[in-house]
Structure 1
């Protein structure tokens, strides 16, 4: 099959890029023809070298509007041929671009593949122009159904994870790690720093990532007088290489919302327990006190309680958490997600044959 992934602009360093890279290459390995359609080069283009056949549909317009993007996608389709299916990835707008661009080729199915909750977009209604939906989490599936999308059109594929990774053994001692974008509105890293300043036991925090609030967070650590216990590593192409070289007791992610929380799954797959907020995605990955801890969003007290529980762990308890963590994500293996996606295409063919 000829498959086109249509995306909106990407910074180049996020979870969407990681997952699209893995899945697009898996499709190629299975004999499918794949193209990646982006409006313009990503902020960091390095990930684009890892995916097949990248095309830019609005490269000449820095602030292209929806009409420009629709025309651009249509021109690429005219240039490289009509696909068997389009996977409108990342935003609801990508569904709109694809639908308009296909024009007379209305029988080409569009699959919406969102990586954030619908409520995080200002234009969620555009997803209704898709024919089928890949949901990366049960919560996103519920949102789609609540938006009056037929449940028969939604396939819960999960978020694919590479399980062929080496384990990283967690150790006692309150060594915490945050991996992700340094942005307080969603990620609430300021809450993490403020809570650690109240934690009475010895601890350390390693922050791996970059973002608009980088300098604010460094200043906050200074004001809280904890700067000597917080290390900012900056962005890394493979943050787990850094984690292997430092000490870690648990990963911490205290976001207001997530689509799935890929970094949570990546940590669990390496045997690392996780403290996360009870929001969409992490609440499906974390089984409290079995492979990590769940706290209510914005609750400094519950986060502090989790830190204290980690402080009181025995070595045997931490090892059990680590084993449970690795086992808990087996169902998210990339191969299993691929099987569900390919099943979707089989269903598409069957529907076509009935028409």
Structure 2
């Protein structure tokens, strides 16, 4: 099978990392190409691509009206002549003029996706029940294929909780990821005498604002900004933390929650449908009210005082059964085959 994936950019992000995993798996037995429309390719991510995958950069500048990159996109599709065109982001399908015999599919990664493009696809995939429910409410059917992770690559050494309570968050430093809520909760923890530290792993447009808030709350000795770190670094070091906090304001799934569970680190997450799904409705993690720093602080203090606990072994088993990368990627191939023979 000849498969072409199309994305706006190949920067550092959950969608892009997931695409690399999917493409690498597919390249073991199929011809795989990735077309990147914008001039945004992370070398650290591109270097992880299987050598058999052909990368087609269109080098479009963001905001430009120059038609040449879009012409290049369609010429690349003409050369590739794919059986399947798999689109991972909004706004791309309207640029695809040449598809010939190809089946065109789309993975919907968040609940805020706009449905006006959906009729252009032969099939829609949703990354969670929450996304599928949203898609159904918009009048479209989709198949759930969860984002997957590499359980065999994530270190999960036995770890005894000590002091301070080591809290970590991994992700882009942007409004929808909710790091501000965690900083506000940290202020409450300090006021209650909790011995803790918070490490933010990631970078983003809100970094300066979050650092300023940390300074305003006099939390410089408690909160650390580690910047962007490679996935290898994250997978090696997650297990050294006592608690993973996901304070997202918007989240379609919550891949980093699954990664923390794979490292056997207890999780507290905002009660959005996607993240709640990853912890099986609260069986394998602790939910708090989305956006409510006081509630988050309360849940952290309950965990700190050992008034609530999480069975990390049971959580690992649940996540491994549902979010393993090999299972997820094979489901995409099965769906492609099904569409080809319908």
Are positions 1:160 and 2:153 aligned together? no
Change (3 A) 1:111 1:345: same
* Partner secondary structure for residue 168 of structure 2: strand
Gaps of 5+ in 1: none
What whole-Å deviation, never above 9, does each CA across 1:47-81 have from its counterpart, x for those lacking one? 11222211023x25443459655433211122x23
Contact 1:66 1:97 in 2 (8 A): no
Contact 1:136 1:260 (8 Å CA) reproduced? yes
Q: Counterparts of 1:338 and 1:111 in 2: how far apart (Å)?
A: 14
- Which residue is equivalent to 2:249? 256
Are the structure 2 counterparts of residues 68 and 168 from structure 1 closer, same or farther at C-alpha, using a change threshold of 3 Å?
A: farther
Tell me the distance in 2 between the aligned counterparts of 1:242 and 1:161. Answer: 14
Which of structure 1's runs of 4+ aligned residues deviate more than 4 A?
65-70
Using the alignment, how far apart are the partners of 1:332 and 1:287 within structure 2? 12
Q: Which residue of 1 aligns with 2:55?
A: 54
Residue 7 of structure 1, CA deviation = 0.7
Structure 1 residues 111-130: aligned runs within 5 Å: 111-117=105-111, 119=112, 121=113, 123-130=114-121
CA distance in 2 between partners of 1:256 and 1:5 (Å): 29
Q: CA RMSD in A?
A: 2.2
Aligned pair 1:322/2:323, yes or no?
no
The normalised TM-score by structure 1 is: 0.86
Once residues 26 and 13 of structure 2 are traced to their aligned partners in structure 1, the CA distance between those partners, rounded to angstroms, is 21
Structure-2 residue corresponding to 1:298 = 291
Distance 1:147 1:287, change over 3 A: closer
Which of 13, 33, 40 is the equivalent residue of 1:42?
Answer: 40
| Change beyond 3 A, Cα 1:310–1:287 | farther
Q: Work out whether 1:196 is the aligned partner of 2:186.
A: yes
Q: Aligned-pair distance for 1:250?
A: 0.9
Aligned residue-pair number: 331
Per the alignment, residue 109 of structure 1 pairs with: 103
Secondary structure of 1:93's counterpart equals coil
1:186 and 2:185 correspond: no
Deviates more, 1:154-163 or 1:20-29: 154-163
Relative to structure 1, the CA distance from residue 161 to residue 42 in structure 2 (aligned partners, 3 Å threshold; closer, same or farther) is same
The answer on 1:7 being equivalent to 2:4 is no
Q: Compute the displacement of 1:138 (Å).
A: 0.9
Aligned with 2:210 (options 214, 217, 234): 217
Q: 1:251 to 1:82 in 2, by over 3 A?
A: same
Q: Measure the CA separation in 2 of the matches of 1:210 and 1:132.
A: 34
The answer to whether the 8 A contact 1:159-1:332 is kept is yes
Question: Deviation of residue 289 (structure 1)?
Answer: 5.8
